[in-house]
Amino acid sequence: MKDFASVQVNWPRKDYSRVPYSIYHDPEIYQLEQEKIFRGRCWNVLCLEAEIPNPGDFRVCHVGDTPVVVNRDDDGELYAFVNRCAHRGAEIVREPWGTAKEHTCIYHAWLYNRKGDLKGVPFRRGANGKGGMPACFDMKNHNLVKVRVTSFNGVIFGTFHHDMEPIEEYLGPLFTKHVGEMFNRPVKVLGYQRQRINANWKLYPENIKDAYHGSLLHEFNRTFGLSRLTQVAGGYMDEKHRHSILFQYKGSDSDEEALKAYIENGVKKGEIAGLNDYSMVNIIDENPFGMSTRVMNVFPNCFFHQIGNTLAMRKIRTLGVDAFELTWVLYTYEDDSEEMVQHRLNQANMVGPAGLISMEDGEALEMVHRTTKSAAEEEMAVIEMGGIGEIGDRDTRVNEVTIRGFWAYYAQLMGFAPEGAEQ
Amino acid sequence: MRDLMDKPAARKTDRSIPMEVRQAADDLIMDSTVHLDRMELDAWIECFDETAEYHVIPRENLEVGYGAAVIRCNSLDVIKDRLMVLDVSSKYNPHWDRHFLNGTQYLSYEDGILEARTNFMIVQSSLEGFSKLFVAGHYEDKIVMTDAGPRLRSRVVVLDTFSVPNLIAVPL
Ligand code: FES
Ligand SMILES: [Fe+2]
């Protein structure tokens, strides 16, 4: 294993209110993240059970960079293995989804079952009495690398650590409650939206934890009152500050008072525009906690949103230090009326790569990544909105403390948290 | 291996469709994309009929049979709303687009509705003069012949490049 003792990060403040820009660009940090975060002591989201409903169904998912095949066996059980042949490393499953009895590597036809156990090696005993594997070769020692999987209300998580705590414990009570509520009955997948963003992956959880930008970058939010800094809102975390939920209550401010506040704060483009068709921003009441929007990050690669009536699990896959893929898995409930399904499909206009309140995020992240590349070692992001010092929950969107929560947990896992740092 | 080709089986050009109808539709399809390249969005919307729909659908969703789109405009009103939002609130990478179309395949012409299919690629150039292939796919158009000329009754943009580079702001 590579020695990463040399990987150091200069945190000038113990509350993570300064983040050195180099952290987005250092290839050694990126490699260490694969080991300590994605293959480390975390539960990574893989996919939804509804994406692989039948025996034999599989999906290729990613844990960081690592391709992982998730599949369902005849008994309905879920199994996952790394998609790398135990012979000489070829990719085994070559289609992103499908149904298969077993998996055969095309290179030399080694055969694996759905659990990832090696079941066949052609010409193991040679041919015509010649060649073949040595007598000491035992197939049992050459299974694929297994990923432990667990399903939380139909959301499949995986980990390389077979002794990870149960998922409910990892989520903690707040996220068990909210993720559990979003998946409190069987769901049906509506489809995918994907985008490739030329930015370091950490900028995405930062963005999702950034309550401050929601109505400044996304003017649609401000214009139609979906999310405004003047609303009743908040940013909460689990006790380790690694997961986050941002939420707000539409209608808890008035257009007039919002317009006034934004103009007073120098945001000139505050005009309220009209739509021809308001169904897109019309929210049918279904959140039992009354929130019009909630967006969660379950550390490290997993996100959930309820934005009005659009529901999705989002996940990221790293593509090197400079890029990641973001996948939005849109869903509906099996017991939804056809009308509700259509409403959710229409509201999906707000999200994804062309989303009226999400397209800007891709651009913001690419801008940050591009310009911080040339920053000097001592140049840093300033994260002080919502206060400095102790990391905790806030009942406002004028808040970035949740971002500091991300860095605090991240630095601990990476093993380079400064002495006496906030946690 | 699963059939990743178009479903149902590829259809052939209907050669009985009058040349002047095809020619008029060719002009409409070409004009619609040139308007987008030039950011003449008011002129682009004029290419649509009053009952028009416009959808951008990731090819993978069509292959699996999922209904979600990345842009879903069930009416002309919703198309107009998207353009209004683009104008007043969206922020995106400053760029120039250029559509490249190949010949259109005309599949049927019934009750004044022409069914057409056109492959496209869009090359995107930054304002610093760097170009790259942005997306590839095809248009599935239903074109209605009106007294004022042909109009798009519906355009479904099937997106092969469904892992979208960054974002889609300007319609495809
Ligand atoms: S690399 Fe897979 S069988 Fe040889
Ligand atoms: Fe955002």
Closest by CA position to A236, among listed A303, A310, A188, A294: A294
* The pLDDT of residue B3: 47
Which helix (H) or strand (E) segment holds residue B80: the answer is helix B76-88
Give the angle B95-B97-B102 at the CA atoms, nearest 5°. Answer: 165
Q: Tell how far the Cα of A204 is from the centroid of ligand 2, in angstroms.
A: 9
Please count the other Cβ atoms lying within 10 Å of the Cβ belonging to residue B101: 18
**How confident is the model at residue A264, as a pLDDT?**
85
Q: Ligand 2 mean position to A20 CA, how many Å?
A: 22
- Per-residue pLDDT of A279-298, as tens digits, reads 888 999 999 999 999 999 99
pLDDT at B163 over 90: yes
CA-based torsion, B90, B93, B97, B102: positive or negative: negative
Mean pLDDT of A12-26: 98
Q: For domain A44-151, say whether CATH 1.10.510.10 is its number.
A: no
Neighbour-count burial of A174, counting CB atoms closer than 10 A to its CB (0-12 exposed, 13-18 middle, 19+ buried): middle
pLDDT at A256 over 90: no
Phi, psi dihedral angles at A197 (to 5 degrees)? -115, 125
Q: How many CA atoms lie within 13 A of A252 on its CB side?
A: 18
Please give the Cα distance from B141 to B153 (Å, whole number): 8
Nearest to A133 by CA among A84, A87, A83, A85: A87
Chain B residues closer than 8 Å to A192 by CB? 58, 60-61, 66, 68, 162
Q: Is the pLDDT of residue B59 over 50?
A: yes
SS3 A362: helix
Cis-peptide, bond into residue A300, ω within 30° of zero: yes
**What share of chain B in percent tops pLDDT 70?**
95
The CATH number of whichever domain residue B86 belongs to comes to 3.10.450.50
Please state the rounded mean pLDDT for residues A182-198: 98
Interface size between A and B, measured as CB pairs under 8 A: 127
Q: Please report, to the nearest 10 degrees, the dihedral formed by the alpha carbons of residues A287, A290, A294, A299 taken in order.
A: -80
State the pLDDT at residue B65.
93
Please give the pLDDT value at position A258.
86
Q: Where are the domains of chain A?
A: 44-151, 173-414
What pLDDT does B18 receive? 96
pLDDT tier at A255 (50, 70, 90 boundaries)? confident
pLDDT of amino acid B55: 98
| Facing residue for A349 by CB, picked from B71, B92, B166 | B71
Q: Is the pLDDT of residue A223 over 90?
A: no
Strands (E), A161-214: 187-197
CA nearest ligand 1 atom 1, residue: A88
Q: Where are the alpha helices (H) located in A23-133, listed in sequence order?
A: 27-33
Our count of domains for chain B comes to 1
Helix, strand and coil content of chain B, in percent to the nearest 5, comes to 25, 40, 35
Question: Hey, of A218, A277, A282, A328, which one would you mutate to test binding to chain B, going by the most B CBs within 10 A of its CB?
Answer: A277
Residue A4 is predicted with a pLDDT of: 66
In which band, very low, low, confident or very high, does the pLDDT at A271 lie, cut at 50, 70 and 90? low
With contact defined as beta carbons under 8 Å apart, do B71 and B170 qualify?
Answer: no
Confidence of residue A419 (pLDDT cuts 50, 70, 90): very high
For residue A97, name the pLDDT band (cuts at 50, 70, 90): very high
Q: Is a pLDDT exceeding 70 seen at residue B32?
A: yes
CB within 8 Å: A191 and B85: no
**Is B171 inside a domain boundary?**
no
Does any ligand 1 atom lie closer than 6 A to the CB of residue A107? Answer: yes
Indicate the pLDDT class of residue B11, thresholds 50, 70 and 90: confident
Longest Cα–Cα distance in chain B: 48
- Is there an atom of ligand 1 within 6 Å of A90 CB? yes
pLDDT band at residue A90, thresholds of 50, 70 and 90?
A: very high
> Which chain B residue lies closest to A362 (C-alpha atoms)?
B166
Tokens of B149: 């000329």
Contacts of B90 in chain A (CB under 8 A): 219-220, 356, 359-360
pLDDT (mean) for A312-336: 98
For A152-167, what is the mean pLDDT? Answer: 98
Q: What is the mean pLDDT of residues A364-385?
A: 97
Least confident of B8-17, B57-66, B89-98: B8-17
Please determine, for residue A175, whether its predicted confidence score (pLDDT) is greater than 50: yes
- In this prediction, residue B1 carries a pLDDT of 34
- Would residue B13 count as lying in a domain? no
Residue range A173-414, CATH number: 3.90.380.10
Q: By C-alpha distance, which of A154, A146, A157 is closest to A298?
A: A157
Query: Ligand 1 centre from A121 Cα, in Å?
Result: 9
Is position B26 within any domain? yes
Q: Residue B91: which of A95, A353, A363 has the nearest Cβ?
A: A363
Task: Concatenate the DSSP letters of all residues of A319-381 into one string.
Answer: -STT-EEEEEEEEEETT--HHHHHHHHHHGGGSSTT-TTTHHHHHHHHHHHHHHTT--TT-EE
A233-248 tens-digit pLDDT = 999 999 999 999 999 9
pLDDT of A6:
77
Helix (H) or strand (E) holding A91: none
**A251: pLDDT confidence band, cut at 50, 70 and 90?**
confident
Write out the residue range of the structural domain in which residue B90 sits: 19-159
CB B121 within 8 A of CB B127: no
Q: Residue B91 corresponds to which tokens in the numbers above? A: 């922020």
CB within 8 Å: A220 and B66:
no
pLDDT at A2: 58
Whether A276 sits inside 8 A of B80 (CB atoms) is: yes
CA distance B163 to chain A (A): 5
Residue A157: φ, ψ to 5°: -110, 150
Instruction: Average the pLDDT over A51-67 and give the result.
Output: 98
3-state class of A414 per DSSP? helix
**Ligand 1 mutation target, pool A102, A103, A108, A133, most atoms within 8 A of CB:** A108
The answer to whether A354 contacts B163, with C-beta atoms less than 8 Å apart, is no
Q: Is the CB of A87 under 6 A from ligand 1?
A: yes
The one-character DSSP state at B17 is S
Distance of CA B80 to the CA centre of its chain: 15
Sheet holding A187-197, edge to edge: A233-237, A244-248, A293-298, A302-307, A310-318, A324-333, A187-197, B163-165
Stretch A184-200: mean pLDDT, rounded? 98
pLDDT band, very low/low/confident/very high, at A259 (cuts 50, 70, 90): confident
CB A272: neighbour CB atoms within 10 A?
12
**SS3 call for A193:** strand
pLDDT at residue B69 above 60?
Answer: yes
- Dist CA A350 CA A348 (whole Å): 5
Residue of B nearest to A198 (CA): B166
Kindly list the residues from chain B whose CB atom is less than 8 angstroms away from the CB atom of residue A348.
68-70, 72
- Residue B171 distance to chain A (closest CA, Å): 9
C-alpha distances out from residue A212 to A295, A301, B129, Å: 13, 21, 34
Region A368-387: what's the mean pLDDT?
Answer: 97
Q: Are B48 and B137 in contact (CB under 8 A)?
A: no
Question: How many whole angstroms from A89 Cα to the centroid of ligand 1?
Answer: 6
Task: Count CB neighbours of A339 within 10 A.
Answer: 9
Q: What is the pLDDT of residue A265?
A: 86
